[in-house]
Amino acid sequence: MPDETHSSRPSPESRRQQILDAACERVRQSGFHGASMADIAKAAGLSVGQIYRYFENKEAIIAAIVAQDLAEMRDKFAEMESRPGTLGDAIDEHLPEGIDKCFDQRRAALALEVVAEAARNPKVAAIVREADQQERSLARTMMERDRKPEWSEEEFQARCEVIGLIFDGLLMRAVNHPDLNREALTAVLRSTIRHLLS
């Protein structure tokens, strides 16, 4: 007969996720500076010592949050790459979902807090820049699918960068103008991205 006490104990993965969820909530409310390890522990229903068993400091928690976001993006890019047709077709199909994610206030607040902390903290800046480099590499691989032979390397990189900054900018618009007409925005972004790919 299985030991019920042992089997009901959270796995290390679920415990880490519990801490990350609590950290994300505290950061949304108070920012990284305002969210102490004690605050995160309280939100997670754990002791500070338990938090340190999984994360050595707040930078490690930020790194895990960024890695989680990157893994989600990697999965989405893989899904888009597996779709038949052009990259433009795949983007057309996934664009409304992408815009909705950018306009999710909780997601936008967290992403902007990470960027703000990166502007102040060199360790966090290194984490964010490494993740950005990986994101750009993923996007570049996907965009190679529709790359035009007449584009120089510099132009190709610039087109990749502009598509990236569109989505980064949407996070700011989510905070500044949350009631923006998303249907109209989607239509304009579709034509804009099609232009960048053509």
Q: Could you read off the pLDDT of 26-37 as tens digits, one per residue? A: 999 888 888 999
Instruction: Give the helix, strand, coil percentages of the chain, each rounded to 5.
Output: 80, 0, 20
Model confidence at 182, pLDDT cuts 50, 70, 90, reads: very high
| Rounded distance between C-alpha atoms, residue 174 and residue 101, angstroms | 10
3 pLDDT more than 50: no
pLDDT above 70 covers a percentage of the chain that reads 96
Averaged confidence pLDDT in the chain: 90
Model confidence at 7, pLDDT cuts 50, 70, 90, reads: low
142 pLDDT more than 90: no
- DSSP calls for 9-49: SPPHHHHHHHHHHHHHHHHHHHHHHH--HHHHHHHHTS-HH
Say what the pLDDT of residue 133 is. Answer: 94
Phi/psi at 82 (nearest 5 deg)? -80, -10
For the CA atoms of 34, 38, 41, 47, the dihedral, rounded to the nearest 10 degrees, stands at: 180
For the CA atoms of 178, 113, 100, 61, the dihedral, rounded to the nearest 10 degrees, stands at: -160
**Residues counted in the chain:** 198
What is the CA 16 to chain-centroid distance, rounded? 18
Say what the pLDDT of residue 1 is. Answer: 42
Rg for the chain, CA atoms, rounded:
20
Q: What is the pLDDT of residues 85-134, one digit of tens each?
A: 788 888 888 899 999 999 999 999 999 999 999 999 999 999 999 999 99
For the chain, the distance separating the N- and C-terminal CA atoms, rounded to the nearest angstrom, is 64
The mean pLDDT of 9-21, rounded to a whole number, is 91
Say what the pLDDT of residue 158 is. Answer: 95
What is the CA 106 to chain-centroid distance, rounded? 12
Say what the pLDDT of residue 12 is. Answer: 87
Q: Which of 28-32, 52-56, 117-121, 177-181 has the lowest mean pLDDT?
A: 28-32
The mean pLDDT of 10-33, rounded to a whole number, is 91
Residue 65 near residue 20 (C-beta atoms within 8 A)? yes
175 pLDDT more than 90: yes
Q: Which helix (H) or strand (E) holds 162?
A: helix 153-176
4 pLDDT more than 50: no
The answer for residues whose C-beta is within 8 angstroms of residue 24's C-beta and 6 or more apart is 65, 106, 110
